Structure formats: C-alpha cells, structure tokens
Chains A and B, each alone.
Chain A
Amino acid sequence: MIIKSISIENFKSYYGSNNSFDFSEGLNIISGHEGSGKSNLFDAFMWVLFDRISGMKRNERLSEDNVKYVNDRIKNEYFIGKLEGKIKCSVKLDVIIPHEKNRHYQIIKEKIVFLKNNHSGDSIFDRNVWGYENSELIVKWEDSNYNTNEKFNENARTELDRIFPEKIRKYIWFQGEQLNELLDFENKDTLEKAVQYISYLSVYRNMKTVINETHRLLGVKVRNRISANNRDAKKYDRFSNELSESEIEFEQNQSLKVKKEEEYEALEEKEKTQNEKLTILAGFPELKSKEGLLMGKVEDLKNQVSHLGSQEKSKFVKKWMLKGTDKLLTTAAEELTKFEKYRLSLATENKKQFSEGVPGDTLIKEILKLKKCTICGRKVEINSKEYKLIESHLDKNKQVKVLDPEIDNLHGKVMNLKGKPAQLIYRIKNIDEEILLHNETIRGKQIERNRNNKELSDVREKIKELVREKGHDLYNLNAENINSTLSRIRGDKERIKRQIDKCNREIILGESKISRINSEIRGLKNPGDEELVEEKLLKYTEFLKFVIENQTQKEKIDLVQKIEETANEIQKNIANINNIVIVYVKIDTEDYTIRFVDAKGQPNSGHGAQNTLAKMSIINAIIKLSNVKQNKEYPFIADAPTSDFAYEFTSRFFESISNTYKQSIIMTKDLMTEIDNYRNKDFVIKVFEICKDASEEIALTTNSITVIK
C-alpha cells in the first residue's frame, strides 16, 4: 500500500479544508517545532485508520460525544455566531494498492458537530455546548469497469481490513513517546499474533487438511480397485470394513482432538482473563479500600447532617412560634407588674387604715369579749355608740383578714407568672444566635461531606479509568469468586488435557492399525498385478503429510529467529558508526517471550534511546518480514521516533528506514539548520515543514504546510 495523500479538515490544529500532504514512495519527512502539529498529523492517521487518537489506551475507542478533536478555531467561529450550521471534521486518505493492480482507494473518516440550541455552556470547551452526529467511516474505490463502489461503517471496516489488515496495520505505528501504549512488548501474544499473521502457517494448516483428505480418498480408490480384481473377496471385504471403521475412528479422534484443543485454548483465554482480573484487584486494593472508607465517611456525615436538620425542625420550630408572641409576652409582663404594684398599694393602704384608726385586733377582741375596756375598766354597752364604732372597725378588720389570703395567693401566682414572660423573652432572644450556631455546625458537616464526596468521586474516577484501561468492571470483581472460577477452569483444563492425551494415544494406535490393515490389503493382491496408479500416488501424499508437518514446525522457529536477527541487524546498521552500545533482542522460539540482553547475553533492558531502538527494531523487523513474506508493501508511519536519540543518530535512522520500507512517513522534531543536509540526501524524497500560525489564543491557532523538497 502506498499513501498518495492525506487531506485534513477541521481536525485538531488543522483549521479549514486546505490542509493536504501529497506523499511519494520512499522517505517523506515532516518537520516542525514542538506544538506545530506533527503529532496531530499522526493522530489524523490514527483516527481514520483506528478510530483512536494518541494518549488513548490500547483497545480504547473514541466515544461519540467526545468532540475535543474538532478544531477549536472553527468551533469558536460557530460559538461567537460568525458561522452557522454544521461543522464537518474529516480526514481523507488516498491510497494505492500495488498488489491489486494499483487500484486507487479513498478511506474517509467524518464527524459532524453543531452548536446546541439554548446551550448553557459559556465556552467552546464545555461538552454540553456541542451536539453531534455519529462519526462515519467510508471506503471508496473504482472497479475495473470504472464503477464507483462505496462502503460505510461496518462494511467499510471489513473493506479496510481487507486492503490494509489490522493485524499488520497496528505494527506500522511507531510513536516514540507512546511506544508502550501502542504495543505491549511484555505480552507474548503480541509477537505470537504477528508471527501467525506474517508466516505461512495458515496456508500450511489448510494444505495439511487437503493433503490428509487427498490421501484418504486415494486410499479408498485403491481399496475399491483391489476389491474389483480380488480373488479372496470375503477376506478383502473384512479388511476393507475394518479399515473403513478404523479410518472413521481415526478421523473422529482427530476431530475430537482439534475440538478439545480449541476448548483448551478457550479455557486458557478464560484463565488469562481471570488472572488479569486478579492482578487488577491485587494491584489496586488501596483504591478499593479508600473508596470503602470514603463511602462510610460520606454516609456518616450524611446521617449527621440529616440528624441536625431534623433536630433543627423539632427544636427551633416552637421557639420560632414563640418569637412571634414576644410583644404579647412583654405586655403580659408589664400588666403583671402593674397588677403587683396595685396589690402592694392596696395592702399598704389597709395597713395604714388599721394602724391609724383602731387598736390591735387582739385587744379589740378582748374588750368585746369582756364588754369592758381592758385599759380603763369602763363598761362597753352593746348597741352603744362606742360599741358600734368598734364593731364597724372590726368588720373592716374582718374584711382585711378575708382579703389577705386571696391577695397572698394571687401574689404568689403573679410572682410566679411574672418571671415567665421574661424567661420566654430571654429564650426567644437567643434563638437567632442558636440557629446561627446550629446552621454553622450543619454547614461545617456539609462542607466535610462535600469534601469527602469529592475525594470519593476522584477515587471512583481513578477506578473508572482503570476499568476503561483494563476493560473489567472493578465494582463487580470479587477475589473469592475469581479464585473459585479459576479453580473450576483449572479443573476443566486438566480434564481436557487428559482427553487430548487420550486422543493422541488413540491417534497413534489408529495410525498403526490403518497401516497394518493397508499392508494386509496389499498382501491380498493377485500375484502379478501391477502397481495401481492410486497406490503409487499414495506414496506421494504420504510423503507430503510428513513434509507439511516438518515445514510447519520449521516455519514458526525460522520466523521467530528471523525477527530476532533482522531486529538486531537493523539496530547494528543504525548504531555501528556511532559506537553506540545497543541492547540485543532475544526471542524465545517456544513461547515468543521477548528479552533484551547485552553483548554477553546478560539481561539488560537498556534505557532511553537503547530501549526505544530495540523495540523499534522489532517493529521494523516484523513489517519488513511481512512485506517480504506476504509480497505486500505497507508504509511505516512514525511520530517522534527520534525524540530519544542523539542528534547524530537521526540521519542514520532515516537512512535505515528508507532502506527498509517502500514508503515511510516520519514526523520529526525541527530539523533547523540541518534541513539543507536532509534536502540533499538521496534517501530523502520529500520534506515538509509545518508551522503553527503565531497566535497566543488557543482558539485561533492553525497550521501552515510548506513543501521544502
């Protein structure tokens, strides 16, 4: 595949539709300062081919409501009302497929966004400001009759996978800064899948099926021919039946073995998934326990706030009601005071009357009883003027006596009541302060609750991030359940392994049985019979069965060794003139584990440029071997591959890339004064320079593209 051009419209820093790069075969370099849009160009490739942009985790896809990658300047123009309608954000690739007679394809990714009516956001960065239509993938081409064909979305993805298989597509990427996000070098599946794809193993597998079946069919034909000419028909029939049964049994055992091996593989996959879940659980107990702790705290604070709230209702409502009666209470207190004053004045007046007008009660009572004055001895006549006067005074005294207890009683009551309004008024007087204090307490609890809630939501966000990254629902993970599933899976694996072993034994026995019966049948041939054609051909298919078995084993080992050799060769070519110490790639031919070692074979993963170079060389080796073995060429697209390299390394690296690939597109740091040197190098076919248009305002930035060579 050769990429003819990429056209970018309103994607990331590429504003408008006038952003195209026309590439050539050979090495294409795109140079620019930091932040000039090189990585955004790389992202444009990623978006159209993988529906991803850099910074995303492996296997993560863009969500439809994420419109961050739509150019900010165009969004701003719609936001301020300068433009109206819908914004189209698109990336279009024009490619040529040499192994399809140079057929021309267009691969287009499009996203439509628009300003929502009545949105409440106050910036273009608010997510709720933008509405969207789901993104579309379109693949277009012209067939040999000049008819235009178009496929959309799922169908387009199938078409894309045909012209540019994802299995190899993912190896064409190289982003120095995010290398480990693009390929998982620690996972042996990474290399195993690459080997499966670039090798001839799938062809060999199908060839093996055809050869086995051809061999069986030839065997049937041989038996039928012998049977027709044979003198000992009964014996032949018996052998023939026995052979048919054995062959059927043999086939059944082989099919059962394949089925059981598939089941075993599926169980291994499940085991791997469960182990991964356990790792996730074991790796993040801190987050889980923190979440539990915060949930408890938040719940506790929620209860405290709710308790204080209900307390407020019961405690303050009565006081609030009383607060409305404070004037009435003051009046009551004043009335009571007035009444007390009046009572006191009344009592004083009576006392005065008694002390001024008559002698003491006891003395008067004595005089009236004796009917003579106890002081002068004079007789007191009933109904006399003096007696009546004394009696009338005594009546007053009686009245006073009657009045006193009532007044005293009332006095007590008044005294008792007198304090109440004051107490109530005092209580009401403090209610404002009390409520203020209470509210302060509630607010304190609410702040603490909100802080814990925020912390909880941060922890949950981290957990979500992990869920997204690892693809498992952490909330539903339970170590006990996982372990019990794992032990069940392991039990099943052992059982199936025993079944596979049994199948293998049966297959070996079956093979020897079939071979014995065949020789018995051949022994039944009439003397003098010539060798049958089918019989002769059986020797060929027998031999091919052996050949394909050997070749399958050889292919896998050879390819792993070739990846290792090629990777180390690429490294040496880049490093030898600079006397750079490299770390060597070592790949296990059995389980595809990648190791990095020093010249003495000791483990050494290297650092910085060493490690990047080693990993990059593996990727380059895979693509190089794929191109050679599949007879298909795919480009190498890299962003900042030299960011770890010393400056003198870069030129050597470019030369190595140009020798490895029919086409490569490299985005690299600013070449500055070296640009002329690169322009004059034969191995550099095209050089572009991209610049960010000077503007401090992020919403107004855009790129300009200049072709230098």
Chain B
Amino acid sequence: METYEDKILNSFSDEIRNDELEEDILKKLLSNIVNKVILYERVGDIGLDQIAKQVTNGLISETENL
C-alpha cells in the first residue's frame, strides 16, 4: 500500500525530471527532505533549520562516498 510519504514524493514525479542532474541524487535528496519534514510535522522535536543542517551534512557525506 502506498504510504503518505510515497504519496507526497509521487506528487513531484512530473516535476523532478532534469537531464543535467543525476536522478538518484535528486530522488534521494527529495525523499530525505520529505521524510524529515513529515517527521517534523508529527513529532516536531527539532526545528526546520536543524533539519536543513542534517540534510546538508548527510547529502555531502553521501555524495562524497559515491
């Protein structure tokens, strides 16, 4: 069954096509942001600026390891 997160991610399916960017990185980045924002809406224990820091650091380390 399609989860709420899947539904939100899928809502971007028509928009995120870009020939110059790698689809994997783009999808991972989007998915990471969607999951963290939904968690923020449900729990709200950390602020959006902290989420942005986590996303940035996670993104850099993942991309470096590719």
Kindly state the separation between the CA atoms of A536 and B25 in the bound complex, as whole angstroms: 11
Determine the main DSSP class of A at the interface with B: helix
Q: Lowest 10 CB-CB distances: which A-B pairs, in order?
A: A213-B52, A631-B4, A217-B56, A206-B37, A214-B52, A547-B15, A209-B48, A210-B52, A214-B55, A214-B56
> Interface segment, A369-377, A411-419, A450-458, A537-545?
A537-545
Kindly state the separation between the CA atoms of A213 and B56 in the bound complex, as whole angstroms: 9
A543 and B18 within 8 A (CB): yes
The residue of chain A having its C-beta at the shortest distance from the C-beta of B6 within the complex is A631
Complex interface: chain A residues within 8 A of B56 (CB)? 214, 217-218, 221
Kindly state the separation between the CA atoms of A629 and B7 in the bound complex, as whole angstroms: 7
A202 and B41 within 8 A (CB): yes
A-to-B contact residues, CB < 8 Å: 200, 202-203, 206-207, 209-214, 217-218, 221, 533-534, 536-537, 539-541, 543-544, 547, 550-551, 554-555, 629-631
B-to-A contact residues, CB < 8 Å: 2-4, 7-8, 11-12, 15-16, 18, 20-21, 25-26, 29-30, 33-34, 36-38, 40-41, 48-49, 51-53, 55-56, 59-60, 63-64
B48 and A213 within 8 A (CB): yes
B15 and A550 within 8 A (CB): yes
Kindly state the separation between the CA atoms of A200 and B51 in the bound complex, as whole angstroms: 19
The residue of chain B having its C-beta at the shortest distance from the C-beta of A628 within the complex is B7
Complex interface: chain B residues within 8 A of A541 (CB)? 29
B52 and A206 within 8 A (CB): no
Most chain-B Cβ atoms within 10 A of its Cβ — which of A209, A214, A551? A214
Given A214-B59, A221-B56, also A540-B25 (CB < 8 A): yes
Determine the main DSSP class of B at the interface with A: helix
CB distance from A223 to the nearest CB of B (A): 14
Contact of B41 among A206, A212, A537 (CB under 8 A): A206
The residue of chain A having its C-beta at the shortest distance from the C-beta of B40 within the complex is A206
B15 and A203 within 8 A (CB): no
B51 and A536 within 8 A (CB): no
Can you report 30 residue pairs joining A to B where beta carbons are below 8 Å apart? A200-B8, A203-B37, A203-B38, A203-B41, A206-B37, A207-B34, A207-B37, A209-B52, A210-B48, A210-B55, A211-B33, A212-B52, A213-B48, A213-B49, A213-B52, A214-B56, A217-B52, A217-B53, A218-B60, A221-B60, A537-B59, A540-B21, A540-B29, A541-B29, A543-B26, A544-B29, A544-B33, A547-B12, A547-B16, A630-B4
Complex interface: chain B residues within 8 A of A206 (CB)? 37, 40-41, 48
Kindly state the separation between the CA atoms of A533 and B61 in the bound complex, as whole angstroms: 9
A555 and B21 within 8 A (CB): no
Given A210-B37, A537-B63, also A551-B15 (CB < 8 A): yes
